[in-house]
Amino acid sequence: MSVVWCNGEIVDQLHLKSNERGLMLGDGIFETIAVRAGNPIWLPEHIQRMGDAAAELGIGFSSENIFDAVKAVLKHSQAEAEVLRITLTRGPTLRGLAAEGTTPSLIITLSSFDRSALQKSVRLATSAIRRNETAPSCRLKTLSYIDAIAAAREVSSRADDALMLNSKGHVASTTIGNIFLLKANVLSTPSTDQAILPGIARQKLIRGAAELGLIVEERAVEIKELHAADCVFVTNSLRLATPVSSLDGKACGTRDIGFIQGYYEQHSKGDAT
Amino acid sequence: MSVVWCNGEIVDQLHLKSNERGLMLGDGIFETIAVRAGNPIWLPEHIQRMGDAAAELGIGFSSENIFDAVKAVLKHSQAEAEVLRITLTRGPTLRGLAAEGTTPSLIITLSSFDRSALQKSVRLATSAIRRNETAPSCRLKTLSYIDAIAAAREVSSRADDALMLNSKGHVASTTIGNIFLLKANVLSTPSTDQAILPGIARQKLIRGAAELGLIVEERAVEIKELHAADCVFVTNSLRLATPVSSLDGKACGTRDIGFIQGYYEQHSKGDAT
């Protein structure tokens, strides 16, 4: 079902030291990457983002090692649609939050991914947990995910995912994707200073907007704008674009985003590693 | 040097499934507990706090299992001063942030702890990373520690630890302890709504204050109050009370906290498990 690679070899289970910081302190980063027929989608962009996060957090990083490991794992690809997760941690360290690591842990998993089971649309509900503009955990794809987990759990009885605001009360993102709204030919999305993770799928759409006849606004977005939009949708690397059917129980605009989904399909056919 | 117990047995290394949420998403909680001559200090209070956090996060919890495991680990105690760390995660789950776990992972380590190497005082510097009043990661002792790690790293060249403010700009805590200030006979500390982890050592001091002739104020604390205090100190379960010698390069008040340190020594002689 799943191929697991940990620090140099394919394994059945993870074998880690007891002072592994990824486990003990959420001290690491990850990327999840769609794989189509053995080809990872937007791999260089994901590795670039991971490298930037590693540099900011002082975690040892070698893109060459990661590309090599991904290549080794993808030899075991066996389904049309899969998901590759690359996890890089600070590795084992001595005591002390600021302690340096010497040997980062690199863990890669390749799992099947049933695209046909993806939701056609999602209901969102606003979480009481805000995203924090000053926090690396909100800007970088780190292992410290508990706030998003708690937000997803908070709304799970009434919605498919949580809408998270930032500490100023502006729209940030869902727990797993970026938010866009469309009004006439203007595509608006929270800017990178709004406590969002700058998604790769987000970036692709922003760069492709002109080709789709859309003007992009990256800025602070108010929640009332979502209610007034022609449509609202969520983007991420695995699900691409998913319409939001309702927000806090109120139906959202129903303008069709097929042309955006089509753009993504066209631009996610897989790069060579 | 270290005894490691993982899911029922003493081990050399941790053996974990590749979808272990503690590692993959910082989805778990922990406690660090001082051990003196084989006796864990304030163990029931730590287990109680862990149980409260587990309930809030929906992580399976059995205090009986944890007490039993701690007892098994403490049989291997061999130093006068040690530190016990109890880590409880959601365990392996299916994909999806809101996915339920069925088998939490319980990991306990017992390591030597050199009390003579503890700093006699600490220099603090204010971090640009704020603590978030709405975030479980700031109120509960979760594995999602990356923001505190980044804050500690941010100031490490000029201070021993970071002072973290909350999103309103009030004093919250350091990355590893609670902040107190003393002015005449008034002991002030940020209240639990200020994005702090409610420390066990903090609670002990608040409850013992009357005995020490002090009046306690739990409230919002301004940074300028720290500069104007008779003294400022940090509390945590391992280090007890440590004076702050300077904040952002300015010397802090030097009133002696020996009477508070003495109170802690007297009340941390170890409970029976």
Interface contacts (A, B; CB < 8 Å): 181
Q: Is the pLDDT of residue B74 over 80?
A: yes
Strand partners, B250: B247
Q: Is the pLDDT of residue A111 over 50?
A: yes
The Cα-based distances of A157 to A124, A164, A232 in angstroms read 11, 16, 21
Q: What are the strands, taking DSSP E only, across B70-208?
A: 81-89, 105-112, 122-126, 161-165, 171-174, 178-183, 186-190
- What burial class does residue A112 get, using C-beta atoms within 10 Å of its C-beta: 0-12 exposed, 13-18 middle, 19+ buried? middle
- Yes or no, beta carbons of B147 and A148 under 8 Å apart: no
User: Which of B94, B106, B109, B146 to probe by mutation at the A interface, max A CB count within 10 Å?
Assistant: B146
- Yes or no, beta carbons of B25 and A146 under 8 Å apart: yes
- Specify the CATH number of the domain B2-117: 3.30.470.10
Closest CA to B264 of B36, B29, B30: B36
Strand partners, A190: A219
Tokens of A123: 């209901």
The Cα-based distances of A243 to A61, B97, B160 in angstroms read 36, 19, 48
Domain ranges of chain B: 2-117, 122-255
Q: Which fold has domain A122-265?
A: D-amino Acid Aminotransferase; Chain A, domain 2 (3.20.10)
CA dist B132 and A131 (Å) reads 8
Helix (H) or strand (E) holding A65, with range, is helix A63-74
- Yes or no, beta carbons of B150 and A128 under 8 Å apart: no
Contacts of A152 in chain B (CB under 8 A): 96-98
Is the torsion defined by CA of A217, A178, A58, B157 positive or negative?
positive
Q: pLDDT tens, A19-74? A: 999 999 999 999 999 999 999 999 999 999 999 999 999 999 999 999 999 999 99
Q: Is the pLDDT of residue B167 over 50?
A: yes
CA dist A214 and A218 (Å) reads 13
- Yes or no, beta carbons of A145 and B97 under 8 Å apart: yes
Question: A269 falls in which pLDDT band (50, 70, 90)?
Answer: confident
Closest CA to B32 of B16, B48, B20, B43: B43
Q: Is the pLDDT of residue A239 over 50?
A: yes
Give the nearest chain B residue to A4 (CA atoms): B18
- A273 touches A71 (CB < 8 A): yes
Residue A255's pLDDT is 98
DSSP, res B92: B
Residue A273's pLDDT is 39
CA dist A104 and A90 (Å) reads 5
Residue A261's pLDDT is 97
Give the nearest chain A residue to B136 (CA atoms): A147
Strand partners, A246: A123, A251
Interval A185-212 mean pLDDT: 98
Interval A250-260 mean pLDDT: 98
- A184 touches A225 (CB < 8 A): no
Looking at domain B122-255, its CATH architecture is Alpha-Beta Barrel (3.20)
- Yes or no, beta carbons of B175 and A147 under 8 Å apart: no
Q: What percent of chain A has pLDDT over 70?
A: 98
Residue A272's pLDDT is 42
Query: What count of other Cβ atoms lies within 10 Å of the Cβ of residue A210?
Result: 10
Indicate the pTM of the whole model: 0.97
Chain B: nearest CA to A254, how far in angstroms? Answer: 26
User: Considering chain B, what is the average pLDDT of its residues?
Assistant: 96
